[in-house]
Structure 1
Amino acid sequence: MTDQSHSAPAEQPAGRTPTAIDAVAERWVDTMVALSPEWAVWLGRPGGEGEYSDYSPAGDERMLAAIRATLAELDATDPVDAIDRVTKADLTRELRLKVEKHEAGFQLRDLNVIASPAQGIREIFDLMPTDTEGAYEHIARRLGNVAGALEGYTETLREGIRQGITPAIRQVTEVITECRGHAASDGFFYSLVGAAEVGGVPVTDALRRDLDAGALAAATAYAEFADFLETELAPAAVEQDGVGRELYSLASRDFLGATVDLDETYEWGLAELARMTAEQEQIAREILGDPDGTIAEAIAHLDQDVSRKLDGTAGLQAWMQDLSDRAIEELGRSHFDIPVEVRALECRIAPTQSGGIYYTGPSDDFSRPGRMWWSVPEGVTEFDTWRETTTVYHEGVPGHHLQIGIATYNKAQLNSWRRIAGTSGHAEGWALYAERLMDELGYLSDPGDRLGMLDGQRMRAARVVLDIGVHLGKQRPDGQGLWDADYALEFMRANVNMDDAFIRFEVNRYLGWPGQAPAYKVGQRIWEQLRDEAREREGADFSIKRFHRRALDVGGVGLDTLREALAD
């Protein structure tokens, strides 16, 4: 490992007198929380307990009016310093894009397998506290409001049917299956309330009745929503998975917070995929000690190595926590200034079984720490550390947890908007950048762990090509016609060493969530460009540690805004 100089934990930044721009940003966050109470759960704020956003067309219009009012305030307010300039530029960019997406009808076709209201209405329960009976009362109240949230969402999708703006049939079919699962007697809602206890003591009988009634109401609502999808939306859904260049360009800008040349990015993705493949082939030969060894053979060799195996979810959770704790402790002494509050990271097994791994940030006051979640598919009981070491660094430190934790910590300098905003390109790009950084620092010197990192990086490069290829209708790399869903699945199978059910889910995700998947690798590319630009500007005075601190202190912004801020 390199750069072993020691440093003390960071001190709280000096306070800054809030400005008029800060006030506009704070009011916008308050407006978001008022109109979307789920945000209060994410932020750990009191208020709106048990309530939902209004997912109906009327609710969308109220949000649009609030966006336009905030834009008018921003236009009428002048920044007084560099922090203000960043806030005004980024919040304006974000809100104007929301208006563009509304005018393009994004909300009318907002149904996909991973990140639409169909999932969000359920997923908010994953973050709700369960440590007191009062917390379970809030859960009971929100369970009772699931039906209203889905009814409003149904109204919006019906308006999409009326206007001829609908999602692809593939997404509708998959979401029907998800919703039927939630509605089942052994589905999420019944499992949630079945485990209700506080400190090992069952909740009161009265609260138990409220929870049971809420679970029944929520499950019934999801069953009825599935019926709507099957009988009304499916017949109106479009066959084509690709959304076309116009909608894709908006989505790409949204997820990156930057405008990129999509055609150049597609070609770069092909070159990056070839580079990742070559790196994998080289490390595979090293693992096997065979100049003719293949990637598949190296993977089989690692999968048979019992020293790299974890047994059961308890073993997985303990391993995640230990690896994360060690990374925080060591990097906090040698490579990063990590405040005490940010050093708390909980690794948990998620209550769902989707197969995803994700991070949720700390509450604004750090009373709820940042958390790394692993959603283990049903029946999976064995895990390979070589595949997942880099995942812990991606989700934890120096990845998402460091980035989001630092932004949350900098409340003396940054308004609430700057601490909670950002884009997939900013967040996921940083996390991939962090993976490569850990390799450079020697934390992935084990050839198996490095192959695991390269496996993930290759997947991210492959989906840059796939996502742009499908949605823009580009020529396939093999020259045999245009991209479509069948070729996308074949392409991912050739580039990803994972269970086929996972690959199918991933491809469906890309098809239904245009622009998001490439934001990881494209975001990494932009982060690396920003570092290289800073190195060129500063010459011999350049410090990578100072660059990281300065970049993370900017908080959550789009990548174009970040570039402007670092060059200022």
Structure 2
Amino acid sequence: MTDQALSAHRTPTAVDAVAEHYVSRLAELSPEFAVDKALPGRRGELDDYSPEGLAALSDLARSTLRELDGVEAVDEVDRVTLSAMRERLGLELELDEAGERLRHLNTIVSPVQSLRDLADLLPTDTVEDWEAFASTLRAVPRAFSQYAESLLLARERGLVPARRQVEACISQARAQARESTSSYTVLLGGAVTADGEPLPAALSEELARAAAAARSGYASMAETLRTELLPVAGEADAVGRERYARLSREFLGAVVDLDETYEWGREQMAAIDAEQRSIAVELYGSGTSVVEAMKRLNADPARTLHGTEALREWMQMVSDAAITALDGTQFDIPAPLRTLECRIAPSTTGGIYYTGPSDDFSRPGRMWWSVPEGTTEFATWQERTTVYHEGVPGHHLQVGMQTWLREELNSWRRLACWVSGHGEGWALYAERLMADLGYLDDPGDRMGMLDSQRLRAARVVLDIGVHLGKERPAELAVLPGVGEGVWDAPSAWAYLRHNVAMHESFLRFELDRYLGWPGQAPSYSVGQRLWEAARDEALAAGTSLTDFHTRALRLGSVGLDVMGEALRA
């Protein structure tokens, strides 16, 4: 299929007009969204994090829903748009009513992190870009002041994050406030234009002052959290069934039976464990345990990378090879998507993530690895599947495809809608797909894929167990020092250490993430489960696997209930 056929022209409709109006208004209200998607908007500014700024976003959602009530679908694309926008915007208002946006503080995706990570995406090609960069940094203290207003209003309503999350964010903010550990120091250390020209001295000085202002904003935010939130933050990490169910819907775009899903997660853990035990024997002979096999894999010089530059080069090599192998065989990959940049992030949080291309593909899709301080060795057997997850056929193919389909999908479908269960579910589905296609036939690489899948299945059990206050399962209660009782942070830590072969620094980050971002972590495995159910249903109806992938990816990221309805239509 040609690039032109993939992006066939479609006449925009009244439904598309409503969606486009929403995106243009969102870009006006959110300069950060405009930068992220390379859309017209206010450069050198940050979002309004005050209660009034958040209310403006709610008003936009509310008015858009009214506009949608006045238009009718003319084709299947419209029908999906209507269903998806009503589900997403309606849930957004429900979450706002519950105070979720006001109380938004956790260790991974709150403004404490996003105001830092935005700098990674700011254009830096020209002197004008760097001037806007400086303006953005100068706006950080104002943004944090507004954010503090929202957090304090949430506090007045009794909506205070757990102590664990407040303490973690204080630590992160303090690290960003210190010049020696701030990501701004790394970003500005070698500031040049795209053609390698050094910046004018006056601009370099202004950038240094702007970075100092941004760091002071982080210092003030850390102090606000310490003095205003920490004294009233609760010890309990669990959010309870009602709140958890609402957040689960946000991340899945689907309603699932949480108790059944919890038991399914336990079954998945047992099945993955059995497969890993078999591979351990295949690798090193009878009697070899999974833990021993992993230790020997980690000690294998042929499977070890030394230094972050070696890691980046290896990521790029694996990514490029996957694109070359899959294009024209399993997928039709448009030309702009055949470029994926692999980078080491300037932050040190331990996360591995993907950022999509700009709307015009002037900025390509990128895979980022935020390497914790002191980590210098990396095991390829664990990470080959990660490259497939973040790259092709994972996030890069998925996100890049919906960005590419500008002649078929409106801007909301392409740029503004992201459902974790759809996106992360697809990425896990992609990992398994690469194993099924033979790209993980090396037993070590397959062990790494299963370790990845095991982590995702473990957090289905852990996340639901902790936040719903379930009793610890038998397979956890028998672990040394754990015993019976209700799930809590120590038992969750024991469960992770027993079941996941990751460095302790990564695991600590992961656990804090699960405890502070309820419902998101299970969306990977549960999303994969729903993707596989949709595939099996399509294959049973006579659809080929390639056609299923093409049709499903053309929908863009929508709620998984909406996706299922669309694929059955």
Give the alignment's TM-score, normalised by structure 2.
0.96
Determine which of 156, 162, 165 is the counterpart of 2:156: 162
Determine which of 509, 513, 519 is the counterpart of 1:505: 509
Q: Structure 1: how far apart are the matches of 2:199 and 2:495?
A: 51
Task: Quote the offset at 1:9 in angstroms.
Answer: 6.0
Aligned pairs for 1:341-360 within 5 A: 341-360=336-355
Matched position secondary structure for 1:333: coil
What's the counterpart of residue 14 of structure 1?
8
5+ unaligned residues in a row in structure 2: which ranges? 478-483
RMSD between aligned residues: 1.2
Q: Which moved more, 1:190-199 or 1:144-153?
A: 190-199
Q: Structure 2: how far apart are the matches of 1:12 and 1:563?
A: 22
Aligned pairs for 1:53-452 within 5 A: 53-186=47-180, 187-198=182-193, 199-288=195-284, 290-420=285-415, 421-452=417-448
2:399 partner letter: I
Matched position secondary structure for 2:368: strand
2:186 partner letter: S
Task: Quote the offset at 1:176 in angstroms.
Answer: 0.3
Contact 2:27 2:40 in 1 (8 A): no
Q: Structure 1: how far apart are the matches of 2:12 and 2:229?
A: 48
Q: Which moved more, 1:557-566 or 1:372-381?
A: 372-381
> What do residues 390-432 of structure 1 show as CA deviations (whole Å, max 9, x unaligned)?
0111111000011111111111100011112131100000000
Task: Quote the offset at 1:156 in angstroms.
Answer: 0.3
What's the counterpart of residue 481 of structure 2?
none
Q: Structure 2: how far apart are the matches of 1:191 and 1:306?
A: 31
What's the counterpart of residue 481 of structure 1?
485
Contact 1:407 1:555 in 2 (8 A): yes
> What do residues 221-260 of structure 1 show as CA deviations (whole Å, max 9, x unaligned)?
1101100100111011121101111111111000011111
Contact 2:176 2:218 in 1 (8 A): yes
Q: Which moved more, 1:340-349 or 1:460-469?
A: 340-349
Q: Structure 2: how far apart are the matches of 1:372 and 1:108?
A: 30
Q: Structure 2: how far apart are the matches of 1:12 and 1:263?
A: 41
Count of residues in correspondence between the two structures? 558
Q: Structure 1: how far apart are the matches of 2:306 and 2:47?
A: 41
Q: Structure 2: how far apart are the matches of 1:432 and 1:96?
A: 28
1:256 partner letter: L
Q: Structure 2: how far apart are the matches of 1:368 and 1:38?
A: 15
What's the counterpart of residue 480 of structure 2?
none
What's the counterpart of residue 554 of structure 1?
555
Q: Structure 1: how far apart are the matches of 2:2 and 2:152?
A: 57
> What do residues 166-225 of structure 1 show as CA deviations (whole Å, max 9, x unaligned)?
100010001100000000021222333232222333211111121111111110111011
Contact 2:349 2:509 in 1 (8 A): no
1:473 partner letter: G
Matched position secondary structure for 2:343: strand
Determine which of 4, 23, 26 is the counterpart of 1:29: 23
Contact 1:11 1:339 in 2 (8 A): no
Give the alignment's TM-score, normalised by structure 1.
0.96
Matched position secondary structure for 2:43: coil
Q: Structure 2: how far apart are the matches of 1:29 and 1:200?
A: 35
Q: Structure 2: how far apart are the matches of 1:119 and 1:46?
A: 24
Matched position secondary structure for 1:45: coil
Matched position secondary structure for 2:305: strand
Contact 1:324 1:396 in 2 (8 A): yes
Q: Which moved more, 1:264-273 or 1:33-42?
A: 33-42
Q: Structure 2: how far apart are the matches of 1:34 and 1:365?
A: 19
1:178 partner letter: Q
Matched position secondary structure for 2:328: helix
Q: Structure 2: how far apart are the matches of 1:107 and 1:24?
A: 24
Determine which of 516, 521, 528 is the counterpart of 2:520: 516
What's the counterpart of residue 3 of structure 1?
none
5+ unaligned residues in a row in structure 1: which ranges? 1-6
Task: Quote the offset at 1:511 in angstroms.
Answer: 0.4
Task: Quote the offset at 1:11 in angstroms.
Answer: 3.4
Contact 1:8 1:333 in 2 (8 A): no
Task: Quote the offset at 1:455 in angstroms.
Answer: 0.3
